[in-house]
Amino acid sequence: MAGGAVPEHNIVLTGFMGSGKSSVGSALAALLGRRFIDTDAVIVERHGPIPTIFAEHGEATFRMHERELADELADETALVVSTGGGMLIDPAIAERFKSSGRVFCLTASPATTIARVRADGIVDRPLLDTADPEARVAELLAERSEAYARFEAVPTDGRTVAEIVDDILVRIRG
């Protein structure tokens, strides 16, 4: 693992569903002795299950909860934040987090993405809970590729969580 000091600014992970943000974020936080925030988990704690928010109040309400949370978190320092896959697609949220720290986008091929979300459970992800989740993944990836490309990409295909964490550490200590 690379040596050197890690700046106190926030480390924020974005990337498509199934890119490994939560596993990588919690391992990174544990290694650095930092507080770990999973934005989906905070929203669930405050507002209930994500599928219920989407079904009863609509996606716009979920996005509003994300914006409120982004404002809170961007005012803090030394956090490791794993964000929901659509959160930093919002340019205002992306700017807010960029000004409070370093943002990395975990990337994965469509095949890896599908395999991971199937293993994790599609029902918790209302955007993929459709008759053809593969097609939906392809559609969303195409829609979002430009937005994700604004961040520093960290590839995850064929890599372990420890290898991805190490890659991020090398970059922040560099």
Two tokens at 28? Answer: 């990174």
d(CA 167, CA 127): 30
Residue 66 vs 74, nearer CB to ligand S3P: 66
Strand extents, DSSP E, 39-169? 79-82, 101-107, 152-155
Q: What is the nearest approach in angstroms of ligand S3P to the Cβ of residue 21?
A: 6
Residue 123 vs 131, nearer CB to ligand S3P: 123
As separate numbers, helices (DSSP H) first and strands (DSSP E) second, the chain gives 8, 5
Which positions touch ligand S3P (CB under 6 A)? 17, 21, 40, 50, 84-86, 125-127
Q: What is the nearest approach in angstroms of ligand S3P to the Cβ of residue 158?
A: 20
d(CA 25, CA 37): 8
Q: What is the nearest approach in angstroms of ligand S3P to the Cβ of residue 167?
A: 19
Residue 8 vs 56, nearer CB to ligand S3P: 56
